[in-house]
Amino acid sequence: MKQFPSSELLNSLPKQFFAGLVKKVGEYIAEGHDVINLGQGNPDQPTPSHIVARLQEAAANPLNHKYSPFQGHRYLKQAATDFYFKEYGVTINPDKEVAILFGGKAGLVEIPQCLLNPGDTILVPDPGYPDYLSGVALANAEIVTMPLREQNHFLPDFNELSADILSKAKLMFLNYPNNPTGATATSEFFAETIKLASVNNICVVHDFAYGAIGFDGEKPLSFLQVEGAKEVGIEIYTLSKTYNMAGWRVGFAVGNESVITAIELLQDHLYVSLFGAVQEAAAEALSGPQDCVKELNQLYERRRNVLIDGLRSLGWNVTAPMGSFFAWLKVPDGLTSEEFAKILLDQAHIMVAPGIGFGEFGEGYVRVGLLSSEERLTEAVRRISCLEIFKK
């Protein structure tokens, strides 16, 4: 069969770091091993029943069998608007400041293509969500990383950015609660970000994927809650984590009108909007009862406590995350993140994500998901204790 070469664009895309690890896990499972998978970020709970019921009802409506409006149904934009006012006290114009997305990832990958020209500079957190790099590659842009260090609470230190870099930068990605570190942001940090962005004409894109997941009574802060945020950027919200709708592929961007217009223009050329029944179900999620969100948050907090308390009992000095459904754990001295992850997989049949997969400054850590039951997390702690790596 004739082989047609891929384009230079496809060949320029970043490699999927975790593909090999997932393959290795599959091999262990195929051999009959009981692998505890704490390495991936796929919610393990079902979508709440009232949202599923709305989808089922809407799927039977012949009007939803037609093309949806290219830029999405207005009722979903209104639901997003009402949600932001109710949850964060933020006023949004549904006609100008909301773009419906095919999941949060789609928006994050689209944004660099919307705003950057080849060679333009984008500021990206390190460690960070690997798919940020996909959009940068597609836009043929230049990356400058912003290190996230524990001593600075995993917030970037803008003093490390030179005047030359700031003058070139056109776009900045931020993400709090943070994947992979579980850190949260403060209003003071967001205010500093807004000032920096305003002075240097940088568009800020805040990835708020884990906005519903905060611990110890602290509700995560929306970037748009801080004065001036809408002037310099947008926030991307996905229903994947808040409502366990990862497979439904629905989210939205809210904020700066010019950026929303750019997103919708690009999507006009790529899609014919989401299936109308999914949009109805998404509106139901945002507008309906939110008890399910509170219960989910409590579930993750219980799991966090089981894991962190258990690991500390082994003598592993770990820090509890303040948000997201991830824990960011230091590896033992003398081991790289990949070496430690391999030990856990080979000897304890536990999968974790090596920190180096999230960037240079992820080295020295592993990411652990809170997406298994308390019983499985307890079993993971027991297996780690058998390795006798840590001293009490």
CA–CA distance, 62 with 205 (Å, rounded to integer): 37
Predicted confidence (pLDDT) at residue 106 exceeds the cutoff of 90: yes
254 — phi, psi (to 5°)? -135, 145
pLDDT digits (tens, 9 = 90+) for 313-351: 999 999 999 999 999 999 999 999 999 999 999 999 999
- Closest-CA residue to 284 (of 316, 248, 259): 248
Which residue ranges form the domains of the chain, and what is each CATH number?
Answer: 8-46+292-387 (3.90.1150.10), 49-287 (3.40.640.10)
Element (H or E) spanning 353, and its range? Answer: strand 353-354
Name 147's bridge partners: 126
Are residues 327 and 304 in contact, defined by beta-carbon separation less than 8 angstroms?
yes
pLDDT digits (tens, 9 = 90+) for 76-93: 999 999 999 999 999 999
Claim: this prediction has a pTM higher than 0.85: yes
Task: Categorize the per-residue pLDDT at 392 as very low, low, confident or very high, splitting at 50, 70 and 90.
Answer: low
| Joined tokens for residue 303 | 């799991």
pLDDT digits (tens, 9 = 90+) for 263-297: 999 999 999 889 999 999 999 999 999 999 999 99
DSSP 11-41: HTSPP-TTHHHHHHHHHHHHTT---EE-S--
Name 123's bridge partners: 144, 172
